[in-house]
Amino acid sequence: MAEKGLLLVLSGPSGVGKGTVKSAIVENKVFPFEYSVSMTTRKPRPGEVNGKDYYFVTQERFEQAINQGELLEYNQYVNNFYGTPLAPVKKMLNEGKDVLLEIDVNGAQKVREKMPDGVFIFLTPPDLHTLHLRLENRGTESEDVIMGRIKQARHEILVMQDYDYAVVNDTVANAVDHIKAIVDAEHVSVKRVIDTYRKMVRED
């Protein structure tokens, strides 16, 4: 039965290891998914292929893509723009293929607005998960350090609450196992399969 693919959005705080986890999923072929090729205004580096590594475009073309709603999300790093074209993502999902996006939390928020059916996975810093131990053992660390971490933790938890899953990146292997389970479980969730069953019994 032809179900739509899953839009998997892997995000989390800066430095949490999103790229490493994504690479592990790719290298170990944990589950099949399609890449979304980003659009960027930065110049190609030697060996980079247009349409494979990125869609390399001019600033004008990028602004046009923004204005015409062609991008699922976009962001600026240094002086360059990076964005996710919407049309190929929708096409792959309609063909029943899962699509994995590894993006920062601002990008993930924009994707959520446009595609609320996506599966939003928040990669959680391991020290957020173990913060309670540090709180219980005050005295072994300076109060300033702990208070700083609590403040940051509050912000991370505020961001996390808009996600579907919170996966602790204690080890890459553990994080990958959890993400594999999430993908498997989402594929058998009633909200995703019920329409296919309903269509089936309507055709008589």
Residues near its own copies (CB under 8 A): 1, 122, 128-129, 131-132, 135, 147, 150, 153-154, 157, 160-161, 163-168, 177-178, 180-182, 184-186, 188-190, 193-194, 197-198, 200-201, 203-204
Give the nearest distance from C-beta 63 to its own copies in angstroms: 35
- Alpha-carbon span 44 to 97, nearest angstrom: 28
83 is known to lie in a ligand binding site: no
Nearer to its own copies, 78 or 190 (CB): 190
16 is known to lie in a ligand binding site: yes
Nearer to its own copies, 48 or 177 (CB): 177
Give the nearest distance from C-beta 177 to its own copies in angstroms: 8
What string of H, E and C letters represents the secondary structure of 111-126?
A: HHHHCCCCEEEEEECH
38 is known to lie in a ligand binding site: no
17 is known to lie in a ligand binding site: yes
Give the nearest distance from C-beta 111 to its own copies in angstroms: 16
- How many CB atoms are located within 10 Å of the residue 155 CB? 10
Contact (CB, 8 A) for 95 and 4: no
18 is known to lie in a ligand binding site: yes
Contact (CB, 8 A) for 63 and 48: no
Q: HSE (CB half, 13 Å, CA atoms) of 37?
A: 13
Give the nearest distance from C-beta 199 to its own copies in angstroms: 9
Nearer to its own copies, 147 or 173 (CB): 147
Candidates 96, 97, 93, 100; CA nearest to 35 is 100
Contacts of 173 (CB under 8 A, 6+ apart): 24
Binding-site residue set: 12-19
Binding-site residue set for ATP: 12-19
